Structure formats: C-alpha cells, structure tokens
C-alpha cells in the first residue's frame, strides 16, 4: 500500500491528540477518522478522565464520526491511530466497517509501557469454561424470545 504525505499528516494529528491526552491526564493514545480526504473525527483516550474503560481513542473517535456522519456504517472511512488497536478497538473497527487502519506504535510498544493486551487474546483462545472471568449461562429460553421478536420484525434496520 502506498503511503502518502497526507497519510503522514493524518497520523501526526492522531499522535498530537495522544500527546495532548497525556498532558491532560488521559492515556497516550489518539485517533482520527478520515472520509474523502478530510478528518471527520478525532479523539484521544479518556479512560481515566471519564472513568470509562471503553473510552479508548479509537472507540471515542468512531462514536464521534458516527454522530457527525449520522450513520453506524463507516465503510467509506479510514482510521489513523497512534497505536495498533487493542482487541476491543479492533472489534469496534470491524463493526464500523472501517476500510483501512493506519497505526503508529505496535502492540509490543504498548506492552513495553504496561498496556498489555495479550491476556485478552489468550482469553479468547480458551473455551468459556476455562476463562479467568466466569461465563455463566442464565435464562437462555427467555432471552431467545427477544431474538425471535427481532427475527420477526419487518421494519428492522439491519447492521
């Protein structure tokens, strides 16, 4: 893939947001989402600021882009993130259908400063009964009724 000067500028903005986050008490991560050569959203990590473990830069940026663009489908967008995405952010990127991810630091770089995500990847390899957090099935028959209602719904918005 050919990297352009514009790609570098978008990444520099993600890095700038990460730097700003560190100065403001957040984590050292930033991201921007670009559509048609323009930044539509840019946010940093605000886990400690917002007391929200899901407030990673990529998730915050995806939420902002979706609000601004009025859609949950970002398939015509690219994300530039200051670090290789963690498993949660990677999932969010795939759910948003973002077409390309550019990243600065690697997950090893993040692990070197105690942001290690390997334990999550390892947990996913284990069956539900062998994970460190118990996963307990409960009231499946009742829960299935909601899925059945969704399946029958004529005016649902597919995603």
Question: What span, in angstroms and rounded, lies between the C-alpha atoms of 99 and 26?
Answer: 27
H helix or E strand, kind and range, residue 80: strand 77-83
User: ∠58-113-51 over CA atoms, to 5°?
Assistant: 50
User: What DSSP letter does each residue of 106-127 carry, written as one string?
Assistant: -HHHHHHTT---HHHHHHHHS-
Task: Compute CA distances 70 → 8, 47, 66, 75, 92, whole Å.
Answer: 27, 25, 6, 13, 17
Q: Which of 5, 13, 58, 84 is catalytic?
A: 58
Residue 58 annotated among the catalytic residues of the structure: yes
Tell me the catalytic residues.
58
């Amino acid at each position: 893939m050919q990297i352009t000067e514009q790609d570098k500028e978008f990444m520099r903005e993600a890095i700038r947001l990460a730097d700003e986050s560190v100065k403001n008490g957040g984590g050292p991560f930033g991201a921007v989402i670009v559509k048609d050569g323009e930044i539509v959203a840019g946010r940093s990590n605000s886990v400690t600021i917002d007391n929200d473990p899901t407030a990673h830069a990529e998730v915050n940026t995806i939420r902002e882009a979706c609000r601004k663009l009025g859609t949950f489908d970002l398939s015509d967008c690219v994300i530039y993130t200051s670090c290789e995405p963690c498993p949660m952010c990677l999932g969010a990127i795939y759910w948003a259908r973002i077409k390309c991810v550019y990243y600065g630091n690697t997950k090893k770089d993040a692990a070197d400063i105690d942001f290690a995500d390997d334990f999550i990847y390892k947990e996913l390899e284990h069956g539900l009964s062998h994970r460190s957090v118990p996963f307990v099935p409960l009231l499946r028959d009742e829960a299935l009724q909601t899925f059945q209602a969704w399946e029958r719904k004529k005016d649902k918005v597919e995603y």
